[in-house]
Amino acid sequence: ANHRPLHGRRILVTAGPTHEPIDPVRYIANRSSGKQGFAIAAAAAEAGAEVLLIAGPVALPTPAGVIRVDVETAVEMEREVAAGLPVDAAIMVAAVADWRAADTRAQKIKKDGSGEVPPLALAENPDILASVAKSDRRPPLLIGFAAETNDVVAHAEAKLARKGCDWIVANDVAADPMGGETNRVHIVSNAGVESWDRLPKPAVARKLMEKIADALETRAPI
């Protein structure tokens, strides 16, 4: 067997949450640990790929052989992803915040004791996956993730069409809560749905690399 089936390939991975600042001491975030995305970056490097990992704020070590760029916000992530193209495959695992504070305050918002609650207006963040799908440097293989709590496959099928990617890797975060060690994923594409058993996140990553190597096999490297 070929142990480095992604040798000569460039792969971009996004991972982790984003933090969207409200003021210098507060931010909007989510429960993403970055574990699945980091495991994917590690498995891609082990499979021989040149890997660029764009990571939101997480407390994880950089996997061996991976080039890592740390970002905080969705807007920063979008910029670093664009700078990382072209690639043979992009795997967008990050749990990007859908909204950011419409205006970030330069000074800490003070609780003045009046009992009045400050307003918090939100603005929509760019959809990085959808914009990469539309760009003229769209990778030949573009993969999105979908964390759902219900109707996992149906939501993933809708997301595949809406985002314009090739595969959606969907997981049920009600069954495998975010931050855990395992995932039970469904690979949703125009070819249909492939459901895998519950596996440790590194095993999901390795299996995904086999599938990516197969999908890229007939394509010349970028």
Question: Is 172 annotated for ligand binding?
Answer: no
Q: Which is nearer to ligand C5P, 86 or 126 (CB)?
A: 126
Question: Which residue, chain included where needed, has tokens 């992009």?
Answer: 90
87 binds ligand C5P (CB under 6 A): no
Q: And the tokens for 182?
A: 């395992």
Active site residue 2: no
Q: Which is nearer to ligand C5P, 43 or 173 (CB)?
A: 173
Taking CB under 6 A as the rule, which mask of x and - marks residues 128-167 in contact with ligand C5P? Answer: xx--------------xxx------------x--------
Tell me the angle at which helices 201-216 and 35-46 cross, rounded to the nearest 10 degrees.
50
- Which of 92, 173, 212, 216 is close enough to bind ligand C5P by CB under 6 A? 92
Q: And the tokens for 153?
A: 């496959």
Question: How, if at all, do strands 122-124 and 99-101 pair?
Answer: antiparallel
| Residue 220: other Cβ atoms inside 10 A | 8
Helices (H), 47-186: 74-84, 128-134, 152-163
Rounded-to-integer distance, Cα 158 and Cα 148, Å = 12
Question: Which residue, chain included where needed, has tokens 């469904």?
Answer: 186
Q: Which is nearer to ligand C5P, 15 or 216 (CB)?
A: 15
Rounded-to-integer distance, Cα 8 and Cα 220, Å = 10
- Which of 47, 74, 90, 170 is close enough to bind ligand C5P by CB under 6 A? 74
Q: Which is nearer to ligand C5P, 47 or 133 (CB)?
A: 133
90 binds ligand C5P (CB under 6 A): no
Binding-site residue positions: 98, 108, 126-129, 145, 159, 163
The set of catalytic residues is 30
Binding-site residue positions for CTP: 98, 108, 126-129, 145, 159, 163
